[in-house]
Amino acid sequence: MSDPDHIRTGKRIFGSLIQPDQLPGKYESGPYFKNLKATYPDYDEKAWQIEAGKTGWTVSRLGMGTYRMQRDSREHYDALREALISGTNVIDTSANYMDGSAEALIGDVIRDLKAAGRIQRENIAIVTKAGYIQGKNSLLCAEIDFPEQTRFDRSLSHCIHPEFLENQIELSRLRMGLETLDVILLHNPEYFLKKARQDNIDIQEAQKEYYRRIHQAFDFLEEMRKEGRIQYYGISSNTFPVYGQYESTDLQRIDVDRYPGFKVIQFPANLIERGFREGSLCRNARELGLWTLANRPLNAFQSKIGLLRLAGTAGPDDSDEAIQSLLNLEEEMQDLEFRIQGELSEEKFHFDTRFPAAGSVIRYYLDRLRNPEQAHAATSALSPVLQKTVNHLYGRAEVLPDAQKESLHRLLESYVRRINTALASLEKNVRARHHRFARTLAGAIAEKIPDLGSTDLSPIAMKYLLASSCPSTVLCGMRRVPYVRQLHTLYNEPAPSRLKDGFPGLEQRAVELWSKEFGF
């Protein structure tokens, strides 16, 4: 029997990511944890594993998030392999993560571990998601017009219609090379509500249609269960912990009794975004027997700050001196710029938007960069901009009398050295300030609970989530082997149960510290 058109098109578009075959089997929890118990003498069941709602499964407390992992990275391959053989047997991915490359990486690692006799397919619980139309999925949808697409712009649409879900499930099975997906989640279906709100659709009308689409998707996913393509299904929504708002996703509005395969939800949870515990979400999930997965444990969104990174490990240059050195360079560049303009006063040269002053540019970015990743990207973008200014200044120097030309050349040589040093220092400065923020916030927490066992912010943030059975599994992007090993130490450090209530006033304290370091 030949494939339908939408699958043939998908195979053509994703061809290089498709596995040569499909592994039989599906997740069965028993053998994996028996092997761990035999391997690790300090194995503690309560710290390492937990019941996954009413799925009948036992799963690891930590899960591997693959949001920014891809097939052609040896570093990512090694990290995923390390996680799977040393205590983490939950993998979370999505059809759109790195354009399907994350799923292909998962297929590669599982195959290699199975061939080496280290792990069987039945040992690993694999959660994937579907809904986003971007990247290669946009190419697919340019050829196949799936119904009920929610279009935002030319680069992003969303869809949970059964025809699209069928396509995405099949492509996920092909990219990972699996006969059965353990869990498939509707990926942020609230995009429909976001667009409806933009279009000024009445909230009751929009939500009525929203839950109709979810129920329609669940009807289809029940059929997929019966065919053996998936084991369970559910929803991953950023708005589960947001209550009574236009874009909220409410478990109470889903007819759970109709859907025996609805057993999993995923939502953001961290020290700052505490709505999952402070509201009714965890209580409702327990009553319904759902396996609860937490994402973004170290990346919080706060209304005044935006993205707030709840981690920070000191590097060799993460010191107050690294922060001050760039400020000194900024002053030196501004002084040189004043002198350069003096040399070119008769030429009526002034730094402007065409030829910006490096000191002003560095100050602009220092006031706006919030994390090392942003700083790294900014450095790459700034180099050609400032090079254009330098080239123009050297060009101006060529038409000056020899004495003035020589004087300007000396100033420019000093200016270029400082520009290069400033660009090299920009990421270090932002990292050092971020580490200082994280260190101070962790210290404020440690003062209230002295026996945490760590004064680093990321282990504290993870222990907060692991201190209760909701979330059952905490997903974290462990893209390097050292990160995996660092987080796996949490298996041997049970979190104090009183941590589950969080820290009163922590969000306000975080805002104050952040404002001191970065402003708003």
Whether 316 shows a pLDDT value over 70: the answer reads no
What's the confidence (pLDDT) of residue 319? 66
Average pLDDT value for residue range 339-350? 90
What's the confidence (pLDDT) of residue 317? 53
Q: With respect to residue 518, please indicate whether it lies within any of the assigned structural domains.
A: no
Whether 157 shows a pLDDT value over 90: the answer reads yes
Q: Please check whether residues 284 and 331 belong to one and the same domain.
A: no
pLDDT per position as a tens digit, 452-488: 766 688 888 999 999 899 999 999 999 999 999 999 9
What's the confidence (pLDDT) of residue 315? 53
pLDDT per position as a tens digit, 390-401: 999 999 999 899
Q: What is the CA angle 166-54-42, rounded to 5?
A: 110
What's the confidence (pLDDT) of residue 430? 87
Q: With respect to residue 503, please indicate whether it lies within any of the assigned structural domains.
A: no
Structural domain ending residue among the three candidates 389, 413, 433: 433
**Which H/E stretch holds residue 10?**
helix 5-13
Q: How far apart are CA 131 and CA 164, in angstroms?
A: 8
What's the confidence (pLDDT) of residue 38? 83
Whether 389 shows a pLDDT value over 70: the answer reads yes
Q: Please check whether residues 241 and 288 belong to one and the same domain.
A: yes
500 falls in which pLDDT band (50, 70, 90)? confident
Q: Could you say which DSSP state residue 17 is in?
A: G
Rounded percentage of the chain residues whose pLDDT exceeds 90? 70
Q: Please check whether residues 329 and 403 belong to one and the same domain.
A: yes
Question: Higher confidence at residue 336 or residue 434?
Answer: 336
Tokens of 370: 């919030």
Q: With respect to residue 506, please indicate whether it lies within any of the assigned structural domains.
A: no
Q: With respect to residue 444, please indicate whether it lies within any of the assigned structural domains.
A: no
Q: Please check whether residues 294 and 362 belong to one and the same domain.
A: no
CATH of the domain at 94: 3.20.20.100
Q: With respect to residue 11, please indicate whether it lies within any of the assigned structural domains.
A: yes
Sign of CA dihedral 235, 239, 240, 245: negative
State the chain's mean pLDDT as an integer. Answer: 92
Q: With respect to residue 450, please indicate whether it lies within any of the assigned structural domains.
A: no
Structural domain ending residue among the three candidates 281, 309, 337: 309
Tokens of 127: 């959660």
Sole residue written with tokens 């999993």: 264
Q: Please check whether residues 195 and 273 belong to one and the same domain.
A: yes
Q: Please check whether residues 131 and 261 belong to one and the same domain.
A: yes
Structural domain ending residue among the three candidates 433, 462, 482: 433
Q: Please check whether residues 27 and 131 belong to one and the same domain.
A: yes
Q: Please check whether residues 283 and 145 belong to one and the same domain.
A: yes
Average pLDDT value for residue range 116-141? 96
Q: Please check whether residues 175 and 224 belong to one and the same domain.
A: yes
Whether 318 shows a pLDDT value over 60: the answer reads no
The answer to whether 232 and 193 are in contact (CB under 8 A) is no
CA atoms within 13 A on the CB side of 83: 33
End-to-end Cα separation, the chain, in angstroms: 59
Q: With respect to residue 144, please indicate whether it lies within any of the assigned structural domains.
A: yes
Whether 303 shows a pLDDT value over 90: the answer reads no
Whether 312 shows a pLDDT value over 90: the answer reads no
Average pLDDT value for residue range 112-123? 95
Q: With respect to residue 451, please indicate whether it lies within any of the assigned structural domains.
A: no
pLDDT per position as a tens digit, 182-232: 999 999 999 999 999 999 999 999 999 999 999 999 999 999 999 999 999
Angle, helices 372-397/358-366, rounded to nearest 10 degrees: 170
Average pLDDT value for residue range 500-518? 85
Maximum average pLDDT range among 23-37, 267-281, 450-464: 267-281
Whether 314 shows a pLDDT value over 60: the answer reads no
For residue 366, the one-letter residue type is L
Q: Please check whether residues 110 and 15 belong to one and the same domain.
A: yes
How many domains are there within the chain?
2
Tokens of 474: 């905490």
Q: Please check whether residues 111 and 177 belong to one and the same domain.
A: yes
Whether 322 shows a pLDDT value over 80: the answer reads no
Question: Higher confidence at residue 494 or residue 299?
Answer: 299
Angle, helices 203-227/162-176, rounded to nearest 10 degrees: 50
What's the confidence (pLDDT) of residue 155? 86
Whether 347 shows a pLDDT value over 90: the answer reads no
The parent domain of residue 379 ranges over: 320-433
Q: Please check whether residues 272 and 333 belong to one and the same domain.
A: no
